[in-house]
Structure 1
């Protein structure tokens, strides 16, 4: 049986080991890297040949323990990053906000909120800022301590406040874990304290009455 000869193109290596996809072959100028004179004799079925397309390589940043890493980790836990989702209890968007919490930071139109990733990201920061202001004394007092086998960190406190509200976190800390909380799905303050510990949330500045709008 005659072999199907397929010519592949060799892409250059870019500085910093970063690869980018091109919108068109012309833009990539692949002709300059032709393998016409090379012996590349591969046996490939016609079906596979027809399916060969330009590579779509997604470059993901290394978020690590930054504030960006923190909020993306919380968003993934809450909704797998889905801005449009509404759960069975009416919590909204990527970070699963309740209507009451949104009103505290100046957001009253839930449909606008669901349709705006920018508004949701601003809401996450504003809510974290408000929670940090409410819990600043507890952050100073308890960070570095161990409660129920989990070391307390600022990011753990802020994540737990996102889950349970700052009042519940304050009670949990000041009772040294005796006054526990769990949401409708059974998720506890301890779980969030552990899961989101050690992120750098110094970017979040405490504010008593933050307000959010599309124009802010």
Structure 2
């Protein structure tokens, strides 16, 4: 009872409290409280806008487009002919660029990307004169570009691309799925592969 009495008496309306020593200079402070409409707006869930990465005609765009065409971008895939990974490498090609462990290769995405760079550098060196000679010309109605040539070399091998270009498109090549050099020349035309260094002995090591 006594405790209740003292507590109640401490809140008595007759008691005055001096708050003057809490005054902060002569500043004026303004506070705003949201109205009902604003409260409803703030209470609504915020939905993040959709996001898509546009790579355009960059070198990364080139790699991703080619990787998607080869395997839908799947690093772990092995097709019925034994071609491996995102870029569908033959074991012989991997050995040429310094990779002799296909099992390890299929589990290592970074290694696959390095393999693609090395292989593309080799193909650019082999085809350097043909790139200079045919770039900008039209073969079978398709404008020849460096990126198209490099993509076609990934598909058919640099030697077959040379034959195709130098025959004016008369040399026929199809892979096991019926894909032609001319199709790759067109599909992968116009990407920026200018910074790929032509290197006869490029490896992943």
Establish whether TM, by shorter chain, passes 0.5.
Answer: yes
Q: 1:38 maps to what in 2? A: 40
Partner of 1:38: helix, strand, or coil?
Answer: helix
The 5 A counterparts of 1:134-145 are 134-145=126-137
Larger Rg: 2
Ranges of 4+ aligned residues in structure 1 off by more than 2 Å: 54-61
Cα distance in 2 for partners of 1:37, 1:145 equals 64
Q: How well do the aligned residues superpose, as a CA RMSD in angstroms?
A: 2.2
Structure 2: gaps spanning 5 or more residues: 1-36
Q: 1:211 maps to what in 2? A: 203
Q: What's the CA shift for 1:62? A: 1.7
Cα distance in 2 for partners of 1:38, 1:100 equals 65
Q: Matched residue pairs, number?
A: 169
Distance 1:58 1:124, change over 3 A: farther
1:24-60 alpha-carbon deviations (Å, 9 max, x no partner): xxxxxxxxxxx993279x9xxxxxxxxx9x9687744
Distance 1:134 1:58, change over 3 A: farther
1:98-146 alpha-carbon deviations (Å, 9 max, x no partner): 0011111101100111001000001111100000000000000000111
Q: What's the CA shift for 1:204? A: 0.7
Q: 2:24 maps to what in 1? A: none
Distance 1:111 1:55, change over 3 A: farther
**2:65 is matched with which residue: 73, 84, 96?**
73
